[in-house]
Structure 1
Amino acid sequence: MTSLPQKMPDKMPERMSGVILKGHGDLDQLEYRNDLALPDMGHHDVLIKVEAAGVNNTDINTRTAWYSKGDGDSDDASWSGQALQFPRIQGADVCGTIVAVGDSVEKDRIGQRVLIEPCIREAQGKTLETPWYFGSECNGGFAEYAVVSNRHAYKVTSTLKSHELASFPCSYSTAENMLTRARVQPYDRVLITGASGGVGSAAIQLAKARGASVIAITSPSKADEILEIGADQVLGRNVNYADALGANSVDVVIDLVAGDAFPSLLDVMKSGGRYAVAGAIGGPLVELDVRTLYLKDLSFFGCTVLEPKVFGNLVKLIEENKIKPLVAETYPLSEIATAQTSFEQKKHIGKIVLTVNADAKIAQ
């Protein structure tokens, strides 16, 4: 541990279990170990005993160097476009309990149950020029303990279990950020692609909480479950959207897919419509007729860095029970390869979560 002054419990282990990413590549680049050093903690940091951590597209995209725009070049294969430093502990979706704090942090934070905001604006006591992603530019939550700046550890009061709470941070904050950037209002008609995934299913709930009408795009086999989540209408992925909905009939598109369907998404948008994107599971290269963009006065929003109030608003919605967790499967951390394999098969709805410490509790 660091020699910086800090408020620590009397007994802390010298080593911890966790999963390291050794380099870009296949699942063999993930290694579960029991001899990792506890993370160093600075003056403005908190040490969190991780109870559960969710699996995300970002984990797989980072491991496989999907973010790189070069041919076989991994120098830009990270969330920030910078070369990743290995070994790296991934994991952005974290629920846990604060067990120690730096000497500039209030001692009464110890014992608080928290969710970590995955979009990191402060590290080592300094504001970052370019925000990091937890588990990408810094070590994350696929381990027994994690360190983060005090400002990014949000106290949460809830009777939900830890693996349920761990389903919220990344997917729901991404979805809420997209809705915020696209200025979704009551009575807006919102089209959501990739609706069965973690972000898509979160966006359904969050859009309905804003009073919007939701059209969800997913496979027909998942339609009934998507309707139960709150969608008003479900369309299959291969449907002609203009034929099914009518041209110029949608106020907002929340897109997580991109790919070949991109032009049809713009066809169904009204004049002055808003398009927000935070994923490209259908393919990152799309065909855009620029005339459609400017003649319809469309607004496009690329959504990565969270707006400042998004995560706090999300925690409030959780505490008010206005949104619910959607956990499809759970695995122990040591079975991360199995969990990621299941994740990539895309047969689930909601989130796949890794449980970390066996004594994960329900807060009272």
Structure 2
Amino acid sequence: MIPDTMTAVLLTGHGGIDKLDYRTDVPTPRPGPGEVLIRVAAAGVNNTDINTRIGWYSKAVTEDTGTGGAEGFDTVDDADASWSGVPLTFPRIQGADVCGQVVAVGEGVHPSRIGERVIVRNMLRTYVDYRPYECWTIGSECDGGFAQFCVAPARETHAVDCDWTDAELAAIPCAYSTAENMLHRAGLGAEKVLITGASGGVGSAAVQLAKRRGAHVIALCSPAKVDAVRALGADQVLDRGADIVAELGEVSVDVVVDLVAGDGWPALLDVLRRGGRYATAGAIAGPICQIDIRTLYLKDLTLYGCTFQEDVVFENLVRYIEAGEIRPVVAATYPLCEIAKAQEDFLAKTHTGQLVLIPPEVAR
């Protein structure tokens, strides 16, 4: 039975954690043509959710994500504070990670899909007619997984056959697709790769996925997390505050996968070999960096900004899961009503891996 109303967390505007409104009377969505309705079993917590809430994507914001993570920013321009650059519509149900069970289908979707255990591709192409370099982020441009039910395009809702918990599956869509996309775009093979922010959701995913490709992984993280990151498969772990040029030497790395940016960014290009590649999908230490263009062109470097994902990226993740080639680390789970606590803990960054929210069960 699908109830008329559901429990969900509504984002009521850009700002602090107080903008998250836990409600039990939100209308349950209905699937339209080509869509499925998912009973959400678990939803991961990501930088994407926090960045969208605080409006960090606005060019008016120049600080690191942690500075405004709890309270928000005073400088946000709502006009460009989303992934797409189009103002968000409020209230919005966030949640870029969706794991659950299909319970209803819209017109044009075969009823046999009902009952499937699924995850949803977080960078949706259906709603932009699969145009290159365009996408909607679930939980940003459309409602996401911080609720008992969620609607998603059937074409981008993937059945997964594995023995993982729901929380483990919910750790995959945003973090692992972001990591795999960077490795895919940079064409990483059996090479030497430097990964920043290696203890976070995306960073820990990148370590595992890079090892799967046969790479020699050098990871940067805080000293307290060295053992945990090494357990993920990293071959070498350095303090995130280390002088990486002194530790590794110039022109010593084939690929850099960066989620941090900030003041230490120039050194990442210094350690790249001639013809090396740099890929980024985050800037948690600050989005404004200084570049010496001579380093870029004299070393024949290639820089990749990675948001849009080709279809094969998410399809590969499902294949890796079903083949038992990867497995996420879930640091903690929280009931959906404790979303504020979950985001506070996420911002504290004392964990390794993913934090996951569990919606209340639905009467059946």
Letter of the aligned partner of 1:177 in structure 2? N
Within 5 Å, give how 1:253-272 maps onto structure 2. Answer: 253-272=256-275
- Does structure 2 retain, via aligned residues, the 8 Å contact 1:62–1:77? yes
- In structure 1, the partner of 2:242 is 239
2:93 maps to 1:89 = yes
Q: 1:229 aligns with which of 228, 232, 249?
A: 232
| Matches of 1:117 and 1:353, distance apart in 2 | 17
12-21 vs 63-72, which moves further? 63-72
| Matches of 1:358 and 1:162, distance apart in 2 | 13
- Does structure 2 retain, via aligned residues, the 8 Å contact 1:196–1:218? yes
- In structure 2, the partner of 1:284 is 287
Render the CA deviation track for 1:50-102: whole Å, top value 9, x for unaligned: 00000000111111111111343111101111111000000011110000111
- In structure 1, the partner of 2:64 is none
Secondary structure class of the residue paired with 1:235? strand
Residues 179 and 127 from structure 1, CA distance in 2 versus in 1: closer, same or farther, beyond 3 angstroms? Answer: closer
- In structure 2, the partner of 1:142 is 146
Q: 1:121 aligns with which of 122, 125, 128?
A: 125
| 1:359 Cα deviation from its structure 2 partner | 7.6
2:30 maps to 1:40 = yes
| 1:40 Cα deviation from its structure 2 partner | 3.1
- In structure 2, the partner of 1:303 is 306
Secondary structure class of the residue paired with 1:100? strand
Structure 2 spans left out of the alignment, 5+ residues: 61-74
- In structure 1, the partner of 2:10 is 20
- In structure 2, the partner of 1:72 is 76
Within 5 Å, give how 1:330-349 maps onto structure 2. Answer: 330-349=333-352
| Matches of 1:310 and 1:212, distance apart in 2 | 18
| 1:43 Cα deviation from its structure 2 partner | 1.2
Letter of the aligned partner of 1:315 in structure 2? V
| Matches of 1:355 and 1:261, distance apart in 2 | 37
| Matches of 1:50 and 1:302, distance apart in 2 | 31
Identity of aligned residues (%): 56
| 1:123 Cα deviation from its structure 2 partner | 2.8
| 1:246 Cα deviation from its structure 2 partner | 1.1
Secondary structure class of the residue paired with 1:264? helix
Letter of the aligned partner of 1:179 in structure 2? L
Render the CA deviation track for 1:177-214: whole Å, top value 9, x for unaligned: 0000000012x000000000000000000000000000
| Matches of 1:128 and 1:32, distance apart in 2 | 35
| Matches of 1:128 and 1:13, distance apart in 2 | 35
Within 5 Å, give how 1:91-106 maps onto structure 2. Answer: 91-106=95-110
Letter of the aligned partner of 1:32 in structure 2? Y
Letter of the aligned partner of 1:267 in structure 2? D
Letter of the aligned partner of 1:21 in structure 2? L
Letter of the aligned partner of 2:264 in structure 1? A
| Matches of 2:34 and 2:76, distance apart in 1 | 38
- In structure 1, the partner of 2:326 is 323
- Does structure 2 retain, via aligned residues, the 8 Å contact 1:50–1:357? no
Aligned-residue Cα RMSD (Å) equals 1.4
Render the CA deviation track for 1:280-325: whole Å, top value 9, x for unaligned: 0011000100000000000000001112200010011011111112
2:174 maps to 1:170 = yes
- In structure 1, the partner of 2:207 is 204
- In structure 1, the partner of 2:66 is none
| Matches of 1:238 and 1:318, distance apart in 2 | 33
2:34 maps to 1:30 = no
Structure 1 spans left out of the alignment, 5+ residues: 1-10
Render the CA deviation track for 1:5-61: whole Å, top value 9, x for unaligned: xxxxxx321110000000011111001101000113211000000000000001111
| Matches of 1:285 and 1:15, distance apart in 2 | 43
- Does structure 1 retain, via aligned residues, the 8 Å contact 2:195–2:257? yes
With normalisation by structure 1, the TM-score equals 0.93
Question: How many matched pairs?
Answer: 348
| Matches of 1:90 and 1:225, distance apart in 2 | 29
Letter of the aligned partner of 1:150 in structure 2? A
| Matches of 1:13 and 1:238, distance apart in 2 | 51
Within 5 Å, give how 1:177-196 maps onto structure 2. Answer: 177-186=181-190, 188-196=191-199
| Matches of 1:208 and 1:109, distance apart in 2 | 34
Q: 1:155 aligns with which of 156, 159, 163?
A: 159
Letter of the aligned partner of 1:34 in structure 2? T
Render the CA deviation track for 1:113-169: whole Å, top value 9, x for unaligned: 000000011139x54673100000000010000001111100000111101110111
Render the CA deviation track for 1:231-288: whole Å, top value 9, x for unaligned: 0000111111111011100000000000011111111000000000000001100010
| Matches of 1:37 and 1:221, distance apart in 2 | 44
2:54 maps to 1:50 = no
- Does structure 2 retain, via aligned residues, the 8 Å contact 1:219–1:237? yes
